[in-house]
Amino acid sequence: MFPFSQTPAVRSHMDAQTAFLNDMSKSMFRSFQQMCDLNIQLVQTLVEESTLASQQVLSADRQTELLSAASARAQPTSEKLRAYQHHVSRLAAEAQVDMARVTEQHVQNTTRTARALVDEVARTTAEETERNIRTQQEALRNAADPFARPDGDARRSMDGNGEVHRGQPGQGAQQANAQGNRPSGASTH
């Protein structure tokens, strides 16, 4: 499991990121909705224009009336398409301004929470590295000296009399042999 998943820094950064993405998606959705409304309005206008043009064509008695009805509808349609292009450009500019505003609102908070998260990750990583180094050093010490006690005492050995001697390996046996070869009344001091 990732060790940073339950920390307050992760939670606050995720909250900041979520708020930023929510506001950005709302802004994009509003722009998309406005564009859809504009397209619907254009289609409705074009359908009305074509309905009027077809009524005039069907009601025309002469060919000249037919041509005049068709040419009369061409000019307003081109005007409506130019107005549509103008509205599309305006909506795109508004969408860009709105997204820049949302980004500006959230950038400071998101940056602050990201810095806090990076600091916490660096601190936790340093602590974990230190802990792992200590564990590895201890494992190396234990592998190099398998008879060392965890409390730091040197190796112990017992002589023949049951006395415990501290020192190098085999030293207790040497001392026991030395005592065994001395006369019983001699002092070892």
Q: Angle CA(87)–CA(89)–CA(92) in degrees, nearest 5?
A: 110
Find the helix or strand (DSSP H, E) in which 166 lies: strand 164-166
In angstroms, the CA 10 to CA 5 distance is: 6
104 domain-assigned: yes
State how many domains the chain has: 1
The pTM (predicted TM-score) of the whole model is 0.55
Query: What is residue 185's three-state secondary structure?
Result: coil
Q: Are 160 and 176 in contact (CB under 8 A)?
A: yes
What pLDDT, on the 0 to 100 scale, is given for residue 61? 78
What pLDDT, on the 0 to 100 scale, is given for residue 147? 67
Regions of the chain with pLDDT less than 50 = 1, 154-159, 164-178, 180-182, 186-189
129 domain-assigned: yes
Expressed as residue numbers, the domain containing 41 is: 8-144
180 domain-assigned: no
Query: Which of 139, 161, 162, 165 is CA-nearest to residue 150?
Result: 139
What pLDDT, on the 0 to 100 scale, is given for residue 94? 94
What pLDDT, on the 0 to 100 scale, is given for residue 140? 85
pLDDT tens-digit series, residues 7-54: 888 888 889 989 999 999 999 999 999 999 999 999 998 888 888 878
Pull the structure tokens for residue 24. 């950005």
28 domain-assigned: yes
What pLDDT, on the 0 to 100 scale, is given for residue 90? 95
45 domain-assigned: yes
137 domain-assigned: yes
| Residues sharing a CB contact under 8 Å with residue 24, sequence separation 6 or more, in sequence order | 99, 102, 103
What pLDDT, on the 0 to 100 scale, is given for residue 1? 39
187 domain-assigned: no
64 domain-assigned: yes
